[in-house]
Amino acid sequence: MKKYDIAVIGGGAGGLTAAIGAVQFGAKTALIEKDPEPGGDCLHYGCVPSKAYIKAAKELRDAKKAAEEFGLGLSGAPDFSVVKSRVQDAIAEIQPHDDRKRLRSLGIDEYHGTASLKTKNEISIDTGETIYAKRIVIATGSSPMIPPIAGLEDISYLTNETIFSIDRVPLKLVVLGSGPVGIELAQAMSRFGSDVTVIDHSGLMEKEEPEIRELAHHLLSEEMTFMFNRKVTKAQKKAEKIGLTVEGDSGTTQEIECNALLIAAGRKPNVKEMGLEKAGVDVKDGKIVVNKKMQTSVSTIFACGDVTGEYPFTHAAGQEGKTVVANAVFGVKQSVDYTHTPYTIYTDPEVFHLGLTEKEARDEYGDNIHVYRSDARHVDRFTAERNKTGLVKIITDKKGAILGAHAIGTLAGDWMQEVVFAKQHGHKIKDFSSVIHPYPSHGEMVSKAADQYWQKRLFEGKVPKLTETYIKWLR
């Protein structure tokens, strides 16, 4: 039986970070991955292919808008095989960063197979091998959650794991779920030419600020149909179509038809048939329970990424993987902290989220907060590009420390990064006013929000009277 310092089960973002970090620090490391190549959901079925879809869809939308505005003729349907090729090319270019050959070159022993725990230190692989490790890291990710819908097993439906393999755009598409996965793909497919309807049991972007949520709903409604506070209770095959029974909160039902159904109703951690109970690993609500050190109920076993259900984003999994290395390899008792971890919903325009919302801040701090806003209509770059849709909202405590920052706008996930840096390193909102942004840039949205801090300090209250007196005295 081979013995290791660290054995990682799963080659997604969290698992790769843990494995590569461990081996680079000198730990004898093994990685077990069931798929042909590592990379996880993000590379093969999530972040990378979806962004390729989104980019291609935006180019088509922009081409149509430009043709109309400049009086050009544009006809015909897009060649969807080009879109599919783009997806595969993007995956192929990124794959070498994570492939088995590179892992071996780093000194990692990589195994191709499905793993399960035999004990708190032993892993059984379905190839017939068993390995021993002082520390085990579970990073098996998540998979699409399929809701209990009558007749669903009798139809062919899409998930994020299969939609990138389709050969043509469905004439009518129903998307079940309006979370980031569902809404991003819904907008992309609409721009490719599909008539899209989104159905959700709640509403759109309910974790976001009300004004951002409302603006996003208004803009997205121009490209697709929403059916909120509804659920699909039955599905059946109807010739070349799919028939769906949709039930509202009041119990009323209606029948709709589509050519394809995309299920994006959430994710479930991959914990089944892993032998967690044999090792004594606690699982609650289908998620592996971990402490802030990413340690499970068993001291020798850690977990990171979607399998914990904590923060289902690739960048968070990478952050957790680093925490695992610190604790599992060095025992430094480092804790993971999501306080400064942002996320972006990659619709067009993008929606950015960092920290507390205004409501959350008021619940925690009462009225001892300040809220600063800026609007894209007052930023020259947005005006010059004839796209004046966007806003920024920054929430601080009474001393100006950043509690939360939220935005919607073109590439908001990029130009809001300076706020992430500022929050993480303890800078206050006033500091943005002294940051020089190239003119004209989208980032002026942030500095204009910060300017309001000085406007309140310098032009309200006692300060204006004092400065007036001082100026008169100088004269």
What distances in angstroms separate CA 76 from CA 70, 79, 193, 325, 379, one per listed residue?
18, 9, 11, 53, 37
Q: Which pLDDT score, from 0 to 100, does residue 465 have?
A: 65
180 labelled binding-site residue: yes
142 labelled binding-site residue: yes
306 labelled binding-site residue: yes
143 labelled binding-site residue: no
Do you know the residue count of the chain?
Answer: 475
**DSSP string computed for 57-115:** HHHHHHHHHHHHHTT----S---HHHHHHHHHHHHHHHGGGTSHHHHHHHT-EEEES-E
CATH superfamily placement of domain 349-459: FAD/NAD-linked reductase, C-terminal dimerisation domain (3.30.390.30)
332 labelled binding-site residue: no
257 labelled binding-site residue: no
- 152-266 has the same fold as 2-143+268-330: yes
182 labelled binding-site residue: yes
Q: Which pLDDT score, from 0 to 100, does residue 75 have?
A: 85
pLDDT tens, residue by residue, 168-216: 999 999 999 999 999 999 999 999 999 999 999 999 999 999 999 999 9
- Look at the alpha carbons of 343, 48, 149, 216 in this order and tell me if their dihedral is positive or negative: positive
What distances in angstroms separate CA 172 from CA 167, 169, 272, 297, 398, one per listed residue?
15, 9, 35, 47, 51
Is 243 within 8 Å of 235 (Cβ atoms)?
A: yes
What is the token pair recorded at 335? 């804790």
- Which letter, b or e, does each residue of 17-39 get, where b requires 16 or more Cβ atoms within 10 Å of its Cβ? bbbbbbbeeebbbbbbbbeebbb
Q: Which pLDDT score, from 0 to 100, does residue 353 have?
A: 98
Separation of alpha carbons 332 and 128, rounded Å: 35
pLDDT tens, residue by residue, 350-379: 999 999 999 999 999 999 999 999 999 999
What distances in angstroms separate CA 224 from CA 50, 80, 197, one per listed residue?
18, 20, 6
Q: Which pLDDT score, from 0 to 100, does residue 437 have?
A: 86
What are the boundaries of each domain within the chain? 2-143+268-330, 152-266, 349-459
Q: Which pLDDT score, from 0 to 100, does residue 466 have?
A: 65
Is 400 within 8 Å of 429 (Cβ atoms)?
A: yes
177 labelled binding-site residue: yes
pLDDT tens, residue by residue, 61-115: 999 999 999 999 888 888 999 999 999 999 999 998 888 999 999 999 999 999 9
Provide the phi-psi class of 266: left if phi over 0, else alpha when psi is between -120 and 50, else beta: left
CATH number for region 2-143+268-330: 3.50.50.60
CATH superfamily placement of domain 152-266: FAD/NAD(P)-binding domain (3.50.50.60)
335 labelled binding-site residue: no
Q: Which pLDDT score, from 0 to 100, does residue 310 have?
A: 84
181 labelled binding-site residue: yes
23 labelled binding-site residue: no
Q: Which pLDDT score, from 0 to 100, does residue 331 have?
A: 86
Q: Which pLDDT score, from 0 to 100, does residue 463 have?
A: 60
81 labelled binding-site residue: no
Q: Residue 427: exposed, middle, or buried by beta-carbon count in 10 A (0-12, 13-18, 19+)?
A: middle
pLDDT tens, residue by residue, 382-414: 999 988 899 999 999 999 999 999 999 999 999
What is the token pair recorded at 331? 């025992």
Separation of alpha carbons 270 and 223, rounded Å: 34
